[in-house]
Each structure stands twice: as C-alpha cells, then as structure tokens.
Amino acid sequence: MGKRSTKFYRKNEAEVMKSLGMKPTKNSGAGWIEKEDGDNDYVICQLKSTDAQSIRVQQKDIRILEKNARVSHKIPLFAIQFLNTGEVWLMVKPENISDIVEYINTGICEKPETMELEDLKPKITKTISGSKSGREKFYEEKEKQYDKTKWANRR
C-alpha cells in the first residue's frame, strides 16, 4: 500500500472528529485561532492516526494539548486511530475521566476551572550573562580543566 495523501488524512480527521461529537478545525489547528484537531464547547481533541501496528505518543504533544485546553477552558482529549482496523482509542488524565463520562452520557459537562496566568509562564532555570569578565573566567576554567602540560606528561 502506498503512502496516504494529506487529503486523505484531513478527510479522515474530519470524520473522526464528527464521530466524537466535535467540530474539526481548519488546517489541523495550525492557525492562530483554532488549535488542535477538533473541539466543541467542552472538549478539545488531538488525533494521531497510523497504518502501523503501534503508534508513538510524545509527551510534547500531550503538553501542547493540555496547554491549549487550559487556555480555551476545555477538557483535553487525545485520540489514537489505527487505520488498519478503524479503531479509535481515547486517552485522558484520570482526573478528567468523570467529566468525559458525563459529556459522553449527557452531551454536556462542567467546563474546567479558569487557569492561573502563572501556569503559562515558562520556568526560568538559569540566567546567563554575557560580560567580558564572565567570558574570561570561563576560558580560564577550561584551560585549567584541559591543561595541555598534563596531557603531554601522560604520553
């Protein structure tokens, strides 16, 4: 079987999102306004599809989905589809299961609480200064670490 076209994946994505009760986003959420692959008033969803027997889910994709869900005040839902069988599996955090079950049973659920702005701030680990004295100190430390005379004596 040859490689599937982008047109196929876009059509498939739209069908899966509609089957899950969501509106597919334009261009798979690559625009400024709509994010992820589909959403509705309560849930935002990312879909990964494959022809293979296994699929790799990266933590980065989950974190992006989680961030977009917080910003839009929706429940994050990750969908995995195996194209060879047509099966769709759903992945959610344990604390969101009851909300997803409520949504599936009734078609509505409570929206997640509003997020704190601090949740979106990147965590700063270390500040690096670019001063001349700092650069000279760095080179001095490297010279001591890789002292050429020390290496010459080992031969």
Which CATH number belongs to the domain containing residue 91 in this structure? 3.40.1350
Residue type, 106: T
Q: Residue 155 has what pLDDT?
A: 55
Q: How confident is the model at residue 117 (pLDDT cuts 50, 70, 90)?
A: very low
* Structural domain includes residue 30: yes
Q: How confident is the model at residue 32 (pLDDT cuts 50, 70, 90)?
A: low
Residue 150 has pLDDT above 70, yes or no: no
Residue 140 has pLDDT above 50, yes or no: yes
* Structural domain includes residue 38: yes
Residue 97 has pLDDT above 90, yes or no: no
Residue 80 has pLDDT above 90, yes or no: yes
Q: How confident is the model at residue 129 (pLDDT cuts 50, 70, 90)?
A: low
Give 26's Cβ-side CA count (13 Å radius): 4
Structural element, H or E, at residue 78: strand 75-82
Token pair 């069988």 is at which residue?
85
Q: How confident is the model at residue 91 (pLDDT cuts 50, 70, 90)?
A: very high
Q: How many domains are there within the chain? A: 1
In this predicted model, which residue has the larger pLDDT, 85 or 28? 85
Token pair 């089957």 is at which residue?
19
* C-alpha span between 104 and 75 (Å, rounded): 13
* Structural domain includes residue 65: yes
* Structural domain includes residue 112: yes
* Structural domain includes residue 45: yes
Q: Residue 127 has what pLDDT?
A: 62
- Residue 89: strand pairing partners: 80
Q: Considering the entire predicted model, what is its pTM?
A: 0.64
Q: How far is CA 148 from CA 1, 90, 129, 140, 153, in A?
A: 59, 59, 28, 13, 9
Enclosing domain of residue 86? 6-119
In the chain, what is the straight-line distance between the N-terminal and C-terminal CA atoms, in Å? 60
Residue 86 has pLDDT above 90, yes or no: no
Give 36's Cβ-side CA count (13 Å radius): 29
* Structural domain includes residue 131: no
